[in-house]
Chains A and B, each alone.
Chain A
């Protein structure tokens, strides 16, 4: 225990107090040490490299030997209009995702609760959970198998009906919708779990009382279930808003990332940064865009946390 021995005389130097604290909890510190070293190596060590956003990076001179050019990398992406397009796309997609995610998850959770057969509920929940467990690579292949214009399932059906096949991989206009549907397909089973647990946690006596008072099914949902879900919805949406400038790279990349005809209309920040880093080796521009995203994200999380701390202190992150 770290409590200071009361018999130690008063002029007890602060340095020695800290030393004693460290000594007394040395094992616990050692137990945290692997994690601390890990985060230093993989999360803190890259931080000085952010400087690459302010230089004209030259491979031979390295990050800190390359000529400093101030904010010109930011200027470049901002003036070309790309930064604004990327930011707008990322935010709009996330807003739609957040809205529909929560709406659909609540609907699924409420309807699951209505299902009386436990076996039916278990099997259907298990089926809805499957898309969460697979890699985004496979998601890309699944979507391609359903939608491509030569062998895709959709076009097999359309041809059978005597309709013209849709050339979805040659036209970007449908992809905002496709990406949204695939996202919902993949995440709803997972998202509904929290709401389902919250509904199961509602005191059965409250629902019983409402039924004795003659509440019908819709009224039960409207006046008991929805209000009791509200705090969960609010918290989850708030935290999701904190991440609104972070895109789901795996989803976008595997659906459209390698096809310029498609990704132009749905390009998000992560895809731009990935291309700039891995394909173009343009580390300075990539880092400028990445830093811009990190800073906005950081400010947003702090803001959201301040709001959460005001309305639901128990749920605030720090």
Chain B
């Protein structure tokens, strides 16, 4: 539909354009170009600097194009070896969390949009209320560490990111677009509700599963917050929390030492930070152009009723 109106507009605008049309179009190209470049510029700086020698970074600063190309920082990160443990941990958490999260969200989302489910409003409200009123960080922290004993357990990161009322509502909206007749015909064939969901509705829910799954996966991949609360004494850290520690420890080092003496340190701290940043974020940068349409789908389906 959107594409259609776009094509029509194109053909229309070829007919009759005023001077102000051209001015606005010109502004559009310039403004959007600049905004797009500004959006990726900091990444190019990090990328360029990650291949620069430490001495050049210290004397000339960060750069888009390295003066002396070197992969020393990457070699150091890789040789250190522990980054692969972080990778393994993050990949496993992302896969497991996304899978379980998808299962719970889709099952609940489907049940809650069934018009013949008498408790759908009560359960919807029960779930929705959690986004209206929260206990706050301190009671949550005390519960997780004191009652559940999840301090220094990966479950403290895996579980809190798995389900959210927003994702369930999003899935519910996707499930609404699956024709109700499918459920009805399943019932006539004598299938149970779970069987209907699993073998009839789930295959039709692919766009919703893709969208919610990607929101979940992105949440797990970029996780640093729960880790900063609960994983402080772990030796293997999720990727972004690992980056968080490297960035902030180097920064605190910098803040505590007068800046001109930083080069005293033998470690190439600056290029190490950049190389770690690239390695922990690389998969996202390569993958997101292919999956962004699912996010756009999610925003337009769930935006207003978030």
Which residues in B have their C-beta under 8 angstroms from that of A204?
4-5, 8-9, 12
Which residues in A have their C-beta under 8 angstroms from that of B163?
35, 38-39
Which residues in A have their C-beta under 8 angstroms from that of B265?
none
Interface string of B117-156 (1 = CB under 8 A from A): 1110001011110101111111111110011000000000
**Residue among A129, A211, A287 making CB contact with B292, cutoff 8 Å:** A129
Contact B259 A150 (CB under 8 A): yes
Tell me if B1 is interfacial: C-beta within 8 Å of chain A: yes
The closest CB in chain A to the CB of B120 belongs to A28
Which residues in B have their C-beta under 8 angstroms from that of A293?
136
Which residues in B have their C-beta under 8 angstroms from that of A127?
36-37, 39-40
Contact A108 B32 (CB under 8 A): yes
Tell me if A32 is interfacial: C-beta within 8 Å of chain B: yes
Tell me if A173 is interfacial: C-beta within 8 Å of chain B: no
The closest CB in chain B to the CB of A18 belongs to B118
Asked, given contacts A145-B62, A149-B259, whether A318 binds B247 with beta carbons under 8 Å apart, the answer is no
What number of A residues sit within 8 Å (CB to CB) of B? 124
**Residue among A49, A108, A112 making CB contact with B135, cutoff 8 Å:** A49
Which residues in A have their C-beta under 8 angstroms from that of B74?
none
Question: Taking the nearest CB of chain B, how far is it from the CB of A203, in angstroms?
Answer: 7
Contact B35 A145 (CB under 8 A): no
Tell me if B53 is interfacial: C-beta within 8 Å of chain A: no
In the assembled complex, the Cα of A76 lies from the Cα of B291 at a distance in Å of: 49
**Residue among B61, B221, B251 making CB contact with A258, cutoff 8 Å:** B251
Tell me if A68 is interfacial: C-beta within 8 Å of chain B: no
**One of A7-15, A84-92, A93-101, A213-221 at the interface:** A213-221
Q: Which parts of B1-25 form the interface with A (CB within 8 Å)? A: 1-2, 4-6, 8-10, 12-13, 15-25
Question: Taking the nearest CB of chain A, how far is it from the CB of B222, in angstroms?
Answer: 4
Which residues in A have their C-beta under 8 angstroms from that of B1?
201
Tell me if B31 is interfacial: C-beta within 8 Å of chain A: yes
Which residues in A have their C-beta under 8 angstroms from that of B296?
193, 197
Tell me if A19 is interfacial: C-beta within 8 Å of chain B: no
Which residues in B have their C-beta under 8 angstroms from that of A203?
5
Which residues in B have their C-beta under 8 angstroms from that of A174?
none
Question: Taking the nearest CB of chain A, how far is it from the CB of B187, in angstroms?
Answer: 8
The closest CB in chain B to the CB of A231 belongs to B304
Asked, given contacts A239-B304, A315-B304, whether A116 binds B25 with beta carbons under 8 Å apart, the answer is yes
Contact B19 A141 (CB under 8 A): no
**Most chain B C-beta atoms within 10 Å of own C-beta, residue among A46, A120, A239, A259:** A46
The closest CB in chain B to the CB of A148 belongs to B254
Contact A185 B39 (CB under 8 A): yes
**Most chain A C-beta atoms within 10 Å of own C-beta, residue among B1, B39, B194, B244:** B39
The closest CB in chain A to the CB of B255 belongs to A259
Interface string of A184-195 (1 = CB under 8 A from B): 010011100110
**Residue among B251, B288, B303 making CB contact with A130, cutoff 8 Å:** B288
Contact B139 A49 (CB under 8 A): yes
Contact B110 A31 (CB under 8 A): yes
The dominant DSSP class at the A interface is helix
Tell me if A136 is interfacial: C-beta within 8 Å of chain B: yes
**One of B78-86, B205-213, B277-285 at the interface:** B277-285
Tell me if A230 is interfacial: C-beta within 8 Å of chain B: no
Interface string of A48-88 (1 = CB under 8 A from B): 11101100000000110000000000000000000000000
In the assembled complex, the Cα of A269 lies from the Cα of B147 at a distance in Å of: 26
In the assembled complex, the Cα of A94 lies from the Cα of B169 at a distance in Å of: 25
Question: Taking the nearest CB of chain B, how far is it from the CB of A175, in angstroms?
Answer: 15
**Residue among B39, B118, B289 making CB contact with A25, cutoff 8 Å:** B118
Please list the residues of chain B having a beta carbon within 8 angstroms of any beta carbon in chain A: 1-2, 4-6, 8-10, 12-13, 15-25, 27-29, 31-33, 35-40, 42-43, 45-46, 49, 57-58, 60-63, 103-105, 107-108, 110-112, 114, 116-119, 123, 125-128, 130, 132-143, 146-147, 159-160, 162-163, 165, 168, 192-194, 197, 218, 221-225, 228-229, 240-241, 243-244, 247-248, 251-252, 254-255, 259, 262, 270, 273-274, 277, 280-281, 284-285, 288-289, 292, 295-296, 299-300, 303-306
